[in-house]
Amino acid sequence: MINLEQVGVHLPQGYLFKDISLQINDGDKIGLVGKNGAGKSTMLKLISGQSQPSEGKMHKPKDCTIGYLTQDIKIDTTQTVFDYLLNSNVLLKTLNARIEEINLLLVERSDYESDSYMAMLDELNDLNHEFSLNEGFLWEEKITTTLVGLGFAENELNNSLSTFSGGWKMRAELAKILVNSPDVVLLDEPTNHLDIISINWLENYLKVYPGSVIVISHDRLFLDNVTKRTLEIAKGKILDFACAYSKYKLLRAEEIERLVGAKKQQEKDIKHTEELINKFRAKKNKAAFAQSLIKKLEKTEIIEVENDTVANMKIAFPLSVQPGKWVLEMENMGKSFGDKNLFKGVNLTVGRGEKIALLGANGTGKSTLLKRVMNDLDGEGTVEYGHNVNITYFAQNQAESLDTSLTVLETVDQTAKGEIRKSLRSVLGAFLFKGEDADKKVSILSGGERTRLALCQLLLSPSNFLILDEPTNHLDIQSKEVLKQALKTYEGTFIVVSHDREFLDGLTNRIWEIEDQQLKVHHYGVKDFLSRKTASSEKKINVTSVKKEVVVETNESEQKLTYQEEKDRKRLKNKLQNQVNKSEQKIDELESNIAEQDLIIADLNYDDKAKAESILSAYNTLKAKLDEQMSLWEEGTEGLMEMEG
């Protein structure tokens, strides 16, 4: 489908990558990986057409449609969430507008036998057929299903996009891409702003998506479950593996091991060649031989090894002091903001050494619950700490509080206490700050590096109770593995909010879930939790599929009619359809007027008898008209059902 031919991108500091030749096939599910700065996002921009290569060619079919989710979306916030998706398909919007226009014209006409009337009916049938082929009649249902799957509540769909946070706007943009079903879907970190339930839904959606998908993600499990091919950008080249991420890592490790051996041998060969050159270069009878060795050396392609393995050092963060048997007790604890109640009636005791994952859809109050546990927010009930409890809290924006004037080493040195201070450089190495990285100023670190440093500082802080709010945001896969291993060895208690299933799997021994304004405790793992959550939705999908199959069988069993019978049937069907459409339009108008009158009647002053009677009379007239239109609608609908039956 898409071909890259000798593609290269040249920046002022040199080539980002060059001589890239690649084919992306129909239905490919590809994970695009590589170190930060390797050029992953640039590659997606090239494929999408937003950027052009410095050299080489990009070949794409003319009719190829591409949906691209970037990390810096620009979105029209003047529309509601639902309308933003509803208006996103130009073809369906154009077809629907013309269908509505013709229906209005037909309602006004009574020349049912005229050629122009019949021509208009034929155009309407053609438009409806095309609308149906493009799933227009399922369009609104598809929009709702997708938005709900990505975490929106149904009562939020008519809210303006301007009222939502950046993360929710990103979800709306992702939903817009998915409902339009492009040939190629490009996703740059799609799980960053999704909760664990929505990630699971997106994963299942993409598994069966008929088009091609290319995704950049730091979620190992997401890559494993969605992709079947991995492309790695390394040292300016593309490495292609016909497998998902975890298998690719094993193959890549074997490849690196082989390259390390080859590089050692090459270094020996180069050293030996250089010795021969130095030995024979001054001798006349060997000068030509020396020159040939020099040319051979110049043509030698130096083997480069990109080793991204995580440090194997085991880090054990000692407790500040040993706490009592229980570290936290909540009694009738809750929190509301105005009329909105997030959770209430929480009665829990947390024992020493518990490892808790706090889960729930976005907006249910996970961060608020942590702040209540920290006593940073007032609310209902009480929160008490046990004996000798020292809490350390990691907020989502923790990296922003780092002192940018300090170096990496100075930052952790200020925090660390005791014997571990003697091995701070080794600890930093385990958090992927190696060698000279420890002497870098915080001010020049990337967002991901600052998050990593803030986590290292956190785990060096004297404590026995950690509270972590989305600690894996902006971390790459290797950094998350380092954090997970460090937390596994942590002897204290922790509560962690994370949407990363791979990170949580095997890390916690308890799940807290906020749902329906309650805090529910589950004593099983993340995988079981998710499978139970998705079971009911899968049953609904199966029921819907069965219904669709029945409809198809019924349609296929229709008997064939003569030309004249088909023509008469078409005329009657359109007449009934027009009656239904006209009634639906009037019913909407009447219901809206009645709703307005309901508000007026609620505050009606019956002392002014004449005015009250006038208003009530008009109200009863509206009600009578509504009953009349409902009867016409029922009559038309029943007629259509009989024809289709």
Q: What is the pLDDT of residue 552?
A: 40
The alpha helices in 349-446, defined as continuous H runs, are 366-373, 408-415, 424-430
Mean pLDDT of 509-537: 83
Query: 179-230: per-residue pLDDT in tens?
Result: 999 999 999 989 888 888 888 899 999 999 999 999 999 888 999 999 999 9
At residue 536, does pLDDT exceed 70?
no
Q: Where are the domains of the chain?
A: 74-181, 250-299, 326-523, 566-644
- C-alpha to C-alpha distance for 147 and 149, rounded to whole angstroms: 5
The whole-number pLDDT of residue 479 equals 76
Which of the following CATH numbers is that of domain 326-523: 3.40.50.20, 3.40.190.10, 3.40.50.300, 3.90.550.10?
A: 3.40.50.300
How high is the pLDDT of residue 590? Answer: 83
Band (pLDDT 50/70/90 cuts) for residue 551 is very low
Question: How does pLDDT run across 110-165, given as a tens digit for each residue?
Answer: 887 888 888 888 898 899 899 888 888 889 999 999 999 998 988 889 999 998 87
In angstroms, rounded to a whole number, what is the distance separating the alpha carbons of residues 40 and 216? 7
- The pLDDT score that the predictor gives to residue 286 is 73
pLDDT at 602: 65
Indicate if the pLDDT at residue 604 is higher than 50.
yes
Structure tokens at 368: 């608020």
In the DSSP assignment, the letter for residue 423 is: G
**Strand pairing class (212-216; 229-234):** unpaired
Q: What's the whole-number average pLDDT of the chain?
A: 84
Task: Using alpha carbons only, give the angle 379, 383, 387 rounded to the nearest 5 degrees.
Answer: 160
Please state the rounded mean pLDDT for residues 383-397.
Answer: 90
Residue 126 is inside which H or E element, if any? Answer: helix 115-133
In the chain, % helix, strand, coil (3-state, to 5) comes to 50, 20, 30
One-character DSSP codes across 224-271: HHH-SEEEEEETTEEEEESS-HHHHHHHHHHHHHHHHHHHHHHHHHHH
Question: Residue 306 above 70 pLDDT?
Answer: no
pLDDT of residue 23: 93
* Terminal alpha carbon distance of the chain: 43
Provide the pLDDT confidence category of residue 79 given band limits of 50, 70 and 90. very high
The residue ranking higher by pLDDT, 484 or 581, is 484
One-letter identity of residue 546? V
Residue 546 has pLDDT above 50, yes or no: no
Average the pLDDT over 283-294 and give the result: 78
446 pLDDT higher than 60: yes
Question: Measured between alpha carbons, how far is 213 from 207 in angstroms, rounded to an integer?
Answer: 9
